[in-house]
Structure 1
Amino acid sequence: MGETINIKELFQTLKKRIWLIALITIIAAIISAVISFFVLTPVYESKTQILVNQAKSDQQLYNATEVQTNIQLINTYNVIIKSPAILDKVKSELNLDRTVEDLNSQITVSSAKDSQVVEITVQDPSPQVAAQIANKTAKVFQAQISKIMKIDNVSVLSKAEVKGTVSPIKPQPLLNIAIAIVVGLMVGVGLAFLLEFLDNTLKTEQDIENILELPVMGVITTIKDVPKATNVQRPDVTARVPQRGETLGS
């Protein structure tokens, strides 16, 4: 029974503060929408792929040892791709007005497990610039790796292209608004319970009974003021004094 009363009180608290919860949720959603649409800069993504593969002779079409060696070298290639030796040339050839460190933060290099394919992903406010950086990075790496490691086993598998209308990968307004609504609800509910916890005023006889742990003997109900009647005609009553010898009512 105690649990039922507590749950009922929780719902009563939420019902009493529903306006506060709704207000906080709406404000959070509006702020998130304004920031997503008008404050944050859209960021676009472009990708290119390079293939790490040894040149094969006609007599040796497939060598498992060489494939395994290439796969092990991919981790080394991932580091070299983002090194100043590569990005410095990318920056100068594209005339980018940013530092090598900034360019490094825009580029992500990844590869699937046991795969000879390396994917270069670039994020930039301009989709065209992102594609240029991705393609140029792959091209410079392909040209420089033979000088750095004295090998020639890298080929460009696919180039980054900008086709038609491109959607930014971030921000995602709908996702941001949904997250803001959830956060707003959580904050609103928490604040509602906090205000209820801090409110120590007595409002009902149940509050008095709970605090004093004594039964309530009586309750004074609230009486609304009754408007005074106006222009009420009183009945015409004429009193007559009985004469000698007459009885009352004759």
Structure 2
Amino acid sequence: MEETISLRELFHTLKKRMWLIALITVIATMISGIVSYFFLTPIYQSSTQILVNQAKSEQQLYNPAEVQTNLQLINTYNVIIKSPAILDLVKKDLNLDRTIGELTEQIQVSSEKDSQVVLITVQDPDSAMAAKIANTTADVFKDEIVKIMNVDNVSILSTAEVPEHPSPVKPRPFLNMAIALVVGAMTGIGLAFLLEYLDNTVKNEQDVERLLGLPVIGAITTIDQNSTLKGNAKTPSVRVSHAKGESTHA
């Protein structure tokens, strides 16, 4: 029985504060949409793939140990690609007005598991510049890795290209608005229960019984003073209940 009452009170609170929950949810969703569409700078992404391998002699066609060594060196290649030795040359070639640290944050280097293929991904507010940075980074790495690690067999598998109608990878307005809708609804529900918890005013007989722990033995209706002055006042009705064997009369 207690669970039923608790559930009833839960839905009663939600129903009573539904306007507050809806208002907070709508405001949060609208703010998220406005910020996503009008205030956040669109970011475009472009990628290029390179294959890093060691030069093979004519007599050596396949050596499993060499392949395993190349796989272990992939992490090293990833660090070298984002090192100042490579990015400083990229910055000079493209005449970029940004620091090496800012350029490093734009570039992501990854590789598939058990693969010698390295993926260079660049994000930039300009889609064309993102493609240029990705391709230039791959070209510079191909030229400089020979001097750094004596690796003279780097192949560019795919170059970054700018699509005819590029679409940004972020922000994602619809996703942001969906998240804001959920967060706004949860915030509204939490605020509704908080206000209900802080509300200690007495509004009806149920509040008296709940707050004071005493039974209600009667209720008196309000008296219309204007009707009383005209002599047409109605006798106020009193609803009386019995309590502990005592009887009262209306």
Question: TM range, normalised to the smaller chain?
Answer: 0.7 to 0.9
Residue pairs, 1:194-213, within 5 angstroms: 194-213=194-213
Aligned residues: CA RMSD: 1.7
Gaps of 5+ in 1: 229-250
Distance 2:188 2:148 in 1: 59
Q: How big is each residue's C-alpha offset from its partner over 1:160-198, in whole Å with a ceiling of 9 and x where there is no partner?
A: 011211110000000000000011101111111111111
Q: Give the 3-state SS of the residue equivalent to 1:14 in structure 2.
A: helix
Structure number, greater radius of gyration: 1
Q: TM-score, normalised by structure 1?
A: 0.87
Distance 1:131 1:33 in 2: 29
Distance 1:223 1:27 in 2: 43
User: 1:88 aligns to what?
Assistant: 88
Distance 1:226 1:68 in 2: 100
User: 1:121 aligns to what?
Assistant: 121
Q: Does 1:44 align with 2:51?
A: no
Q: How big is each residue's C-alpha offset from its partner over 1:196-236, in whole Å with a ceiling of 9 and x where there is no partner?
A: 111110011111112222211112245779989xxxxxxxx
Aligned pair count reads 228
Q: TM-score, normalised by structure 2?
A: 0.87
User: 2:15 aligns to what?
Assistant: 15
Q: Identity of aligned pairs, percent?
A: 68
User: 1:159 aligns to what?
Assistant: 159
User: 1:180 aligns to what?
Assistant: 180
CA 1:67–1:225 in 2, change beyond 3 Å: closer, same or farther? farther
Q: Kindly provide the amino acid, as one letter, of the partner of residue 106 in structure 2.
A: Q
Deviates more, 1:103-112 or 1:51-60: 51-60
Q: CA deviation at 1:111?
A: 0.5
Q: Give the 3-state SS of the residue equivalent to 2:48 in structure 1.
A: strand
Q: Give the 3-state SS of the residue equivalent to 1:71 in structure 2.
A: helix
**Equivalent pair of 2:53/2:151 in contact (CA under 8 Å):** no
Q: Kindly provide the amino acid, as one letter, of the partner of residue 122 in structure 2.
A: V
